[in-house]
Amino acid sequence: MKRILIIGGSGSWGQELVRQLLAQEKDAMIAIYSRGEHRQVEMARHFSDPRLHYIIGDVRDRDRLSLAMRGMDVVFHLAALKHVPVCERNPDEAIKTNILGTLNAVEAALANEVSRYIFVSTDKAVDPINSYGVSKSMAEKTVISANLRSSATTFVCIRGGNVLGTQGSVVPLFKEQLLRANEITVTDLSMTRYLMRLQEAIALLFAATNEAQGGEIFVMKMPSIKIQMLVDVMTRRLGNKDTRIRTIGRRPGEKVHEVLVSRQESERTFEHGDYFVVLPSMDIREVYSKWNSRTFLSQEYNSADNRFLTASELETLLAEDGWLNTVPVRDLDGLSREELIEFFKKEGWR
């Protein structure tokens, strides 16, 4: 029986990963490790599957992590403080969770000789300019360097861009603002962002699990969107002629365009099907021997110099995933109209 641990498994990514694992792994034990008891209870009611087990714990607790990893074959590390403004205001907390928490998980994986450890990173880790990005960049390096410490565990990272409709992302906020306040607040209409569906993000997790030699960073190829176009599409479908669009200015640490592979990394990055593979800067001979016949990129991979979704494609994507209907967003329906207007100012597009 395969034994799988998902750290931070009660969030958006974790629940989609569980959904796909339950469909693929008929004989498996899947443990959800997270600190939120309420979300775990909700998740248990939703899935109601005997293959699932729940463990309350924090990545800041190394002993608890080590106990949770006993006998595990595969570990998916999804837990993080991930909101840019929150991490910018609380960099010490970002360090504790995103850097030290990752170190704790890596140490626990090494101690328990887990077979595969897959860490989820972000485009913000590339050429980072905010606390969140810096902390995830350091976490990446912690995970990749662990391959030098053990031959028993394969450590690998994946990088994704913005995932449509996940907790704290801009699309649910825009939707609720339009439905209840008939306005949208944006930081900068000239911004571009990567965008992918959650199902596609989980496919990258499986690709890294199956193909990694150890030390790679797998990067999903994904289209870009223009924030101006997103505003136009959602306003046309959910707003009216009186809809107000307020530009409030970029927040500290916020980029106009995102990068998934930096110029420096491009010299050791190659295309492989639906994703890129970034090889480590350190000498991990096994990984280079596996991929040594590949042709490396010649430039960075960023959201401005990329294929953009057309307005029609974006509208279809939003409609298919339910973001253009009038059903309230569950995580935001407790906010008043005034609270909703102010919420985006503080949180924004992460």
Q: Which residues are designated catalytic?
A: 124
- State how far the alpha carbon of 28 is from the alpha carbons of 92, 199, 233, in Å: 37, 20, 42
Q: Are 33 and 65 in contact (CB under 8 A)?
A: yes
Rounded Cα–Cα distance for residues 213 and 93 (Å): 32
Q: Which residues contact 165 (CB under 8 A, 6 or more apart)?
A: 12, 171, 172, 198, 321, 323
> Closest Cα partner for 2 from 114, 151, 143, 77?
114
> Closest Cα partner for 282 from 198, 327, 215?
215
The one-letter code for the residue type at 208 is A
Q: Are 189 and 235 in contact (CB under 8 A)?
A: no
Q: How many residues does the chain have?
A: 350
> Closest Cα partner for 67 from 17, 8, 107, 9?
107
The one-letter code for the residue type at 88 is E
Q: Are 213 and 287 in contact (CB under 8 A)?
A: yes
What is the full DSSP assignment across 84-114? HHHHHH-HHHHIIIIIIHHHHHHHHHHHHT-
- State how far the alpha carbon of 115 is from the alpha carbons of 21, 72, 308, 334, 350, in Å: 17, 8, 38, 43, 32
* Tokens (6 digits) for 215: 């030390």
Q: Are 47 and 154 in contact (CB under 8 A)?
A: no
